[in-house]
Amino acid sequence: MPELPEVETIAKDLRKMIAGLTIAEVKVDYGKIVGTDLAGFAPSLTGRTIGDVGRIGKWLKMDLDSGFTLLAHLKMTGQFVLEEKPGALASQWPAHARVGFKLVGEGVEKTLFYLDIRKFGRLRVFDQESLTNYLDFLALGPDPLNLNSDRFHKIITSKKGRLKQILLDQTLVSGLGNIYADESLFAASLSPNRTTDSLTKLETAHLLAKIQAILTEAIEFRGSTVENYRALDGPGSFQDRHQVYGKSGKPCPKCGQILVKIRIGGRGTVHCPACQT
Ligand SMILES: [Zn+2]
């Protein structure tokens, strides 16, 4: 599932490649992705010009000139692909394309396809009021890149549980998933099994510094391409820098002991029992 660096990369690519274009036509091939208001989805977007594209946690946020906002969550296998050849919306769609947007500008016609193999992704259009209500409902925690160590310590220790599970709770901190939680805990030498009430301020400050450094570096490398993630302008390469994620049974890069995979809250977690305490 795309996490903060992957969604940030997709947002950057979308901003570069489609901001300023107008949505001329929308076709939906699989209604569940656009929610209950299938009939209202295309009309609420058609004729609107795309403004800024950003990110809230793992959600993509596309502003439209009408004051409306398109939110997209890619879940397991969602992907945006841009077809530069005119007429693509009316031609054969790419495999697993579920929604298509014909975009036009001065002398330009492109088609943005939303692809989703497993079809868990979500695209939703909101006016300003319903966007506020929906974000209240999601109750996303702050972005880890915008946190200071005092606030992070308060948030992390506000809920009892194992550290790994707490880091994945999007209502506490939004944007981290399995890859960056495992990598950050390894970098901070903290066991994913630690209970949050045992953490000192020094430990949480160290962890936040590692989370921020890893996320920033991962954004520079366009995210991690494991399974099917790929941004519009190409895949990521941060997977080549992973220290522990996907490496159970291999030697720890710090101490040489074998990395072990355990399950915490139903999620596979790779760690070094010797280094991470
Ligand atoms: Zn180790």
The CATH number linked to 174 is 1.10.8.50
pLDDT value of position 1: 85
Read off the pLDDT of each residue in 125-139 and give the average, rounded to a whole number: 96
Catalytic residue among 2, 5, 144, 192: 2
Instruction: Return the amino acid letter for 58.
Output: K
Of 15, 235, 267, 273, catalytic = 267
Q: Ligand 1 centre and the CA of 186: distance in Å? A: 9
pLDDT tens digits, one per residue of 239-264: 999 999 999 999 999 999 999 999 99
157 lies in some domain: yes
Establish if 26 belongs to a structural domain.
Answer: yes
Residues 149 and 112 in one domain: no
**Domain shared by 11 and 104, yes or no:** yes
**Quick one: 74 and 106 in the same domain?**
yes
- pLDDT tens for each residue of 83-128: 999 999 999 999 999 999 999 999 999 999 999 999 999 999 999 9
41 has a pLDDT exceeding 80: yes
Overall domain count for the chain: 2
User: Are 228 and 77 contacting, i.e. CB atoms less than 8 angstroms apart?
Assistant: yes
What pTM was computed for the model? Answer: 0.95
The residue out of 105, 138, 171 marking a domain boundary is 138
For residue 277, being part of any structural domain is answered with: no
pLDDT at 36 over 80: no
80: left (phi over 0), alpha (psi -120 to 50) or beta: beta
Instruction: Give the distance (Å) from ligand 1 centre to CA of residue 120.
Output: 36
Residues of the domain holding 78: 4-138
Q: Where among 138, 162, 196 does a domain terminate? A: 138
The amino acid at residue 223 is G
Average pLDDT, the chain: 96
How remote is the CA of residue 203 from the centroid of ligand 1, in Å?
18
Give pLDDT, residue 38.
83
**Residues 151 and 71 placed together within one structural domain of the fold:** no
* Residues 121 and 221 reside in one and the same domain: no
50 and 85 share one domain? yes
Q: Active site includes 3?
A: yes
Told to judge if 162 belongs to the known catalytic residues of this protein, a careful annotator would answer no
